[in-house]
Amino acid sequence: MGLSRVAVSLAMVLAAGPRAARAPGLALGVCRAAGLSTLGPGHDEVTRAKLAAQEWEKHGINKPTIFSKIISREIPADILHEDDMCLAFRDISPQAPTHFLVIPKLRIPRISQAQSQDTQLLGHLLFIAKTLAKKEGLDNGYRVVINDGPDGSQSVYHLHVHVIGGRQMLWPPG
């Protein structure tokens, strides 16, 4: 890794100022944005998703996720919304000018594992996503993404809805 990339990354973290204190994962996001690997040589989002799938297979629902820790306030986050069903917060590694997540407080590991009794909760997540997108000024549109399983590059086994906007989205996405 070149020294200039490290200097740029460090400058980005320093420029973040007080935001860095609210988002402990900011350095991770800056490293990703600068193209620096956060897991070592050869790792990328696909590799992260495969590692997360292996962890899920090994530990299942018993191991808390980063999202469980955000819900319990063990880990700080820039929270946009909270109610009895869900929590919404800014992504620590934004892929666009606006990028936030909406997560259920009830842990559903994958969208493909949702049950019929989760229908109201799933609708609520999308309604909150829409409401927050409007508050964030995404009047020209935005993308809503739910990754599912290893092939869907799901990296946290706690259902989460990405809302990404503030720029022109490209198609196909991946």
Closest CA to 124 of 113, 114, 137, 109: 114
Residue whose entry in the numeric block shows the structure tokens 């606006």: 98
Instruction: Report how far residue 149's alpha carbon sits from residue 155's, in angstroms, rounded to the nearest whole number.
Output: 8
Give the closest residue to 113 by CA, choosing from 60, 49, 36, 50.
Answer: 60
Angstrom CA distances, 173 to 113, 118, 143, 145, 152, stand at 24, 27, 10, 10, 12
Contact 88, 101 (CB under 8 A): yes
Active site residue 59: no
Distance CA(22)–CA(3), nearest Å, equals: 27
Residue of 43, 81, 158, 160 marked active site: 160
Which sequence positions are flagged as catalytic? 160
